[in-house]
Every structure is written in C-alpha cells, then in structure tokens.
Amino acid sequence: MATRDSMEELKQKCEDVLRFANDQYQESSLQQQYNDDNYIQALQQLEGAYNDIATMAHSANGQQREELHRLRLQIQQVQNKMILLQH
C-alpha cells in the first residue's frame, strides 16, 4: 500500500507540473510563437508525472487508485491540449 506521504508528494508534484504546463499552454495560445524549450519541458514533465502515477498505482489501495486515476486523466487532458495546439 502506498503511504500517505508518498501520495501527497506525488499529488503535489502533479499539481505543480499541471500548473507549469497550463502556464506554457496559455503563453503559447496568446503568442504566435512560443518558447519551444519550456513547452517541450512541460510536455516532458507531464509524461514523467504520468509514469510516476502509473508506478504508484501498483502499490495503491482502491481509494488511492481512484485518486490516481483522476490525476492521470487531468495529465492526459493537458497533454492532448498541448499536442493539438497549432502554431
């Protein structure tokens, strides 16, 4: 079973990654050009967070898995939004 601390750390990390990715998306949406490095970094961080969630899910109980599933959906939603942004 995943510990409460490890779940909280992962949730905080995911929230930070989502915030950074959403900021990069907003910045890119407002400009015709965007900072490729930060945008790519945001996508890489989203992928890393997604993988961390998958790893944590292996040792999580049912309630924790549900919480992780919701986080995973948020990550995927932002990933898809960023990938589909056309410039």
Please list the pLDDT of the chain residue by residue as tens digits (87 residues): 678 899 999 999 999 999 999 999 998 887 766 578 889 999 999 999 999 999 999 999 999 999 999 999 999 999 999 999 865
User: What's the pLDDT score for residue 46?
Assistant: 97
Can you give the residue ranges of every domain in the chain? 4-24+37-84
Quick one: which H or E segment has residue 4?
helix 4-30
User: What's the pLDDT score for residue 59?
Assistant: 92
**pTM here?**
0.89
Collect contacts of 67-74 with beta carbons under 8 A, ≥24 apart. 67/7, 67/11, 68/10, 71/10, 71/11, 71/14, 74/14, 74/18
- Using CA atoms in the order 19, 24, 26, 27, what is the torsion angle rounded to 10 degrees? 140
User: What's the pLDDT score for residue 52?
Assistant: 97
